[in-house]
Amino acid sequence: MGLNASSDEWCHRSDDAIHGIDGVTKLVDDVLIQAESEEELKSRLYQVLERCKSHGITISKRKIHVGTPLKFAGFLITQEGIRPDPNKT
């Protein structure tokens, strides 16, 4: 995500923006959107994007990753499950 302000401002704005959206987890400047189906994921992603827009948060397309595997908060998330990121241990 590409907010051009201090990290405190980013945290405050992004916390406000995504508050109350099911399946959305934020850790510092990373946001994870989880869903049981593709349709649910699209809906949640749309909610996050709309909320970010309304809170003046710019998102960088190159930083968006959809699908698995992905790394988040020191973990590797795959279709098989969640395990510590081997590059971090």
Domain contains 32: yes
Counted domains in the chain: 1
Closest CA to 45 of 64, 73, 70, 71: 64
**Residues 27-73: tens digit of each pLDDT:** 888 899 999 999 999 999 999 999 999 998 888 888 888 887 989 99
pLDDT tier at 82 (50, 70, 90 boundaries)? very high
Q: Which of 10-14, 15-19, 26-30, 40-44 has the highest mean pLDDT?
A: 40-44
**Helix 7-18 with 38-54: angle, nearest 10 deg:** 130
| Helix H or strand E encompassing 48 | helix 38-54
Q: How confident is the model at residue 4 (pLDDT cuts 50, 70, 90)?
A: low
Structural domain of residue 25, as residue ranges?
Answer: 5-64
Tokens standing for 3? 């907010």
Task: Tell me, yes or no, whether 47 lies in a domain.
Answer: yes
8 A C-beta contact, residue 24 and residue 31: yes
Whose tokens are 């395990």? That residue is 83
- Asked whether residue 18 is domain-assigned, the answer is yes
Per-residue pLDDT at 6: 67
